[in-house]
Structure 1
Amino acid sequence: MNFELILVVATFASGLIWLVDRLVFRPKRMARLESEAQQLGHEAGIERKEGGDSEPLLVDYAKSFFPILLAVLIIRSFLFEPFRIPSGSMMPTLLVGDFILVNKFTYGLRLPVVDTEIVPMSEPERGDVAVFRYPEQPEVDYIKRIIGLPGDTVRIEDHRVWVNDREFPLEEQGRYEGDANLKHAGLTVALEDIDGRLHQVLLDNGGHLRSGEWTVPDDEYFVMGDNRNHSNDSRFWGTVPESNLVGKAVMIWLHWNWQDGGFDAGRIGRSIDVVESD
């Protein structure tokens, strides 16, 4: 279900109903009420009838909901959109059950539904955590970390990442203790440095990390999950076109994972760009 399309249609329909009534039907109702009031001999009747049942129920609903729908559409399409993390591919940065805010204008303002860029803004940077439409299934949103920019050469060997023959420093920090239900407890936590931006990754020393070398095409991006051995990303299905980018993930505003009954108030308000110890 395309919620954005439904929201656009609902906003347009409610606004159109209200506008047509305001310009066409309301003046006719007012003229009729005035005529009836004059016939009855008291002008006060106009106010009583206008405040009563003279306005159709559909118009009343449209007038009430249009400002709300318009505000939601503007905020969701051009400012911020909420997402829920459904998988562990971005652990330990993001956990299953995290609800995040995605900045929609960081990479440029786009028209809703058609996704046409109308106002260019900043370019994506290495280290950004980005939400994008999965190239092989555009109706599905993915979230990964941007590793390679257009024109970059990305090389991966073991747990190490090189971009343009420059290695990203990686320092192991110890055993990961959390999320035992998802079988990630016991993996290795490491601190990775991407152009001076620090973030944690999970390494599975007993698992398989796909190695190889990729050249990023123009206007596309190479992305990877922070849970390096348990992420379906550019190593397997290729790069992300710039037109598929939805926005930059900036903050966790809620954590609730009903699978393990977990409400974690300590994660509320966390910046995704900042490394925080638990």
Structure 2
Amino acid sequence: MDFALILFVLSIVSGVLWCYDVFSARKQRPKGAPDPWWVEYGASFFPVILPIFMLRSFWIEPFRIPSGSMIPTLLVGDFILVNKYSYGVRLPVLNKKIIAVSDPQRGDVMVFRYPHDTRQDYIKRVIGLPGDTLEYSNKRLKINGEVMAVHPAGDFLIPQTFDVFQKLEEDLGNGRKHMTLNNRDAQSLVREQAVVPHAYSGNCNYTASGVTCTVPAGHYFVMGDNRDQSADSRVWGFVPDENIVGRAFFVWFHADQILPVPSGVSFSRVGRFN
């Protein structure tokens, strides 16, 4: 269910009722007469729904992290805020860019619509820009022929599974550093039979040690920080610019479970993240 579409329809319907009441029906009602039901349950919602719709469509939208592909940066149950203005102003529902602001940069944590099912929102880190050649081989990342530096940063305990992975600080060569996880027991290759065919499948070459891809124009190569437990551009291809939702930047709440009752609630993770 597209929540943006629901808000759009509610904004239009309540806006029409509000305008009709203010500019026509209200003038015809006897002084002191109670508001009819359609004003109380329709037009009265317009001043509330419209600001929410505008804020969510053009500036900030909240999301909840459902999977562990971005651990250790983001944990399952983190509630985050996404800046939709960062990469340009887009028409709500249609997601059509009408004003360009800036392009995604290497290292950004980006929310986008999954290319193979745009009803799903994904979150990954931008690794490759249009025209870049990416190689992920033997669990080491190379961009345009340059090996990205990594530095050991201890171990990390996965909260849900109690697995212990190696934590590494990765430098993307542009001053942007972030943490990744390495499962020492996982194989380094991406199994070609698990790859999802896509329009630019010919831009990627799979070997026993990893994958090499050239990013097409207007697309981005993304990866999860939990490198061995993330289905990302290595598996299903590139993210087209028209699928971009915005740049994630802030954790405002954490709860392991919301329904039937909140559990694992924590405010210790509140704050900006890289």
Q: TM-score, normalised by structure 2?
A: 0.88
Q: Which amino acid counterpart does residue 69 of structure 2 have in structure 1?
A: S
Moved over 3 A (4+): none
Instruction: Say which SS state the counterpart of residue 66 (structure 1) adopts.
Output: helix
Residue 242 of structure 1: aligned partner:
241
Q: CA deviation at 1:146?
A: 0.3
Conserved? CA contact 2:21–2:43, under 8 Å: no
Conserved? CA contact 2:18–2:44, under 8 Å: no
**C-alpha distance in 1 between matches for 2:237 and 2:148:** 21
Note closer, same or farther for the CA distance 1:214–1:63 as it changes in structure 2 (3 Å cut): same
Conserved? CA contact 2:170–2:179, under 8 Å: yes
> Which range moves more in the overlay, 87-96 or 192-201?
192-201
Structure 1 residues 143-187: Cα deviation after superposition (integer angstroms, max 9, x where no partner): 0000000010001111111111111111122221341x324x311
Greater helix proportion: 1
Structure 1 residues 214-237: Cα deviation after superposition (integer angstroms, max 9, x where no partner): 000000000000000000000001
Alignment of 1:168-179 (within 5 A): 168-179=148-159
Q: Which amino acid counterpart does residue 111 of structure 2 have in structure 1?
A: V
Q: CA deviation at 1:62?
A: 2.7
**C-alpha distance in 2 between matches for 1:267 and 1:94:** 9
Structure 1 residues 185-239: Cα deviation after superposition (integer angstroms, max 9, x where no partner): 3110000011211110000111023311100000000000000000000000100
Q: CA deviation at 1:264?
A: 2.4
Residue 179 of structure 2: aligned partner:
200
Q: Which amino acid counterpart does residue 97 of structure 1 have in structure 2?
A: G
Aligned residues between the structures: 250
Q: TM-score, normalised by structure 1?
A: 0.86
Aligned-pair RMSD on alpha carbons? 1.5
Q: Which ranges in structure 2 are unaligned for 5 or more consecutive residues?
A: 191-209
> Which range moves more in the overlay, 237-246 or 253-262?
253-262
Instruction: Say which SS state the counterpart of residue 263 (structure 1) adopts.
Output: coil
Q: CA deviation at 1:23?
A: 2.4
Instruction: Say which SS state the counterpart of residue 20 (structure 2) adopts.
Output: helix
Residue 124 of structure 2: aligned partner:
144
Alignment of 1:26-65 (within 5 A): 26-29=26-29, 33=30, 46=31, 49=32, 52-53=33-34, 55-65=35-45
**C-alpha distance in 2 between matches for 1:214 and 1:135:** 17
**C-alpha distance in 2 between matches for 1:19 and 1:265:** 42
Would you say 1:6 and 2:1 are equivalent positions?
Answer: no
Q: Which amino acid counterpart does residue 179 of structure 2 have in structure 1?
A: Q
Residue 135 of structure 2: aligned partner:
155
**C-alpha distance in 2 between matches for 1:96 and 1:70:** 31
> Which range moves more in the overlay, 237-246 or 56-65?
56-65
Q: Which amino acid counterpart does residue 24 of structure 2 have in structure 1?
A: V
**C-alpha distance in 2 between matches for 1:196 and 1:133:** 27
Q: CA deviation at 1:263?
A: 2.0
Alignment of 1:60-75 (within 5 A): 60-75=40-55
- Identify which of 77, 84, 102 aligns with 2:64: 84
Would you say 1:191 and 2:130 are equivalent positions?
Answer: no
**C-alpha distance in 1 between matches for 2:223 and 2:251:** 20
**C-alpha distance in 2 between matches for 1:254 and 1:129:** 18
Residue 196 of structure 2: aligned partner:
none
Note closer, same or farther for the CA distance 1:59–1:221 as it changes in structure 2 (3 Å cut): same
> Which range moves more in the overlay, 252-261 or 142-151?
252-261
**C-alpha distance in 2 between matches for 1:253 and 1:26:** 42
**C-alpha distance in 1 between matches for 2:263 and 2:143:** 40
Residue 98 of structure 1: aligned partner:
78
Would you say 1:164 and 2:144 are equivalent positions?
Answer: yes
Q: Which amino acid counterpart does residue 21 of structure 1 have in structure 2?
A: D
Residue 227 of structure 2: aligned partner:
228
Alignment of 1:111-126 (within 5 A): 111-126=91-106
**C-alpha distance in 2 between matches for 1:261 and 1:160:** 37
